[in-house]
Amino acid sequence: MNQSVPMQRPRAWPLAGPESWPLWRLLHPRELTSAILLSLAVGLGLSLAVTWLWAAPLWTATLVVLLALLPVGIRKWRQDLHAYGETVMWLSVLLTVQGVHTVEHLAQWIQYHVLLWPSREANGLLSPANAEWVHFTWNWLVLLVVVTLLIGGIRNPWVWLLLAVAFAHAVEHTYTFIRYQLILGELRGLGVANVSAQGLPGILGRDGLLARSEWARGTFLCSLPGLTTATRLDLHFWWNALEIGLLAVGGHVFLRRLPAFSAPTEAPADPSEPHTEGRRPS
């Protein structure tokens, strides 16, 4: 007679302080901590070499560090996939990459408001990525992953609100991308070369579509704080802050309902051990 095999109990580890938080337990690298620190050290060493020895720009140093960390990150996400399933893995991926994206927006904000750099020079730590086609592609991919999370079962008011915000953000960048292409076409038609059309206002913000529209002119809409008065840099800083905040809260609410994250004395299963949940011996 076939007999169900109980799922192996994950190894216990003590919890104290932040380790009782579901998001911390998901994102903590655990046994990969030393590998991450080593990769970070190698990345920083190589980045110093390329910037000092070859006078490479700052963004190359950032790219080198990110590439050095990528293999360990992929290994961590594979562990998440094995231990928790595909949906939680995508949550881990999105939290990580949006966290890095938040650092980039924070760097731009500091360059502009603290260091007082001109807006055209406040491009963050990875300046080539501050391009319209990158923004357009990135935000639609983020929206696609949010939809994947919803389909996978991460459904609570915070994630539904995140879906609305991510969609609005993607529409905003679609508008700026189309406008960018149209203006580039006009410049080419006039024979103008070597002129960038990056950083144009979008739907919201100062000089945006909402602020310039005829039906909104002279109304309270044209004086709404932020929505029609913020610079593009500030506007997208808050777009991103809102998205990462909703993602973190929505992910926390979802994870704390899962047995793997609600038990305070259990850790994720070792990926090297066979996952026996639901299996039956032959």
pLDDT at 261 over 50: yes
Q: Is residue 276 part of a domain?
A: no
Q: Is residue 11 part of a domain?
A: no
Range of the domain at 181: 17-262
Residue 271 lies in a domain: no
| Mean pLDDT of the 47-74 span | 92
Q: Which of 149, 147, 148, 154 is nearest to 258 (CA)?
A: 154
134 pLDDT exceeds 60? yes
Report how many domains make up the chain. Answer: 1
Burial of 135 from C-beta contacts in 10 A (0-12 / 13-18 / 19+): buried
Q: Which residue has the higher pLDDT, 265 or 34?
A: 34
pLDDT on residue 162: 98
Q: What is the mean pLDDT of residues 22-42?
A: 94
- What integer pLDDT is reported at residue 19 of this predicted model? 64
- How far from 267 is each of 29, 146, 170, CA to CA, in Å? 12, 26, 37
**Burial (CB count <10 Å: 0-12, 13-18, 19+), residue 255:** buried
Does residue 272 belong to any structural domain of this protein? no
- Asked if the model's pLDDT at residue 218 lies above 80, the reply is no
Report pLDDT digits (tens) over 222-233. Answer: 667 777 888 889
On whether residue 275 sits in a domain, the answer given is no
Q: What is the pLDDT of residues 145-194, one digit of tens each?
A: 999 999 999 999 999 999 999 999 999 999 999 998 888 888 777 776 66
Whether 7 is in a domain gets the answer no
Position 1 in a domain: no
Min mean pLDDT across 51-55, 75-79, 110-114, 174-178 is at: 51-55
State pTM to two decimals. 0.82
Q: Is residue 113 part of a domain?
A: yes
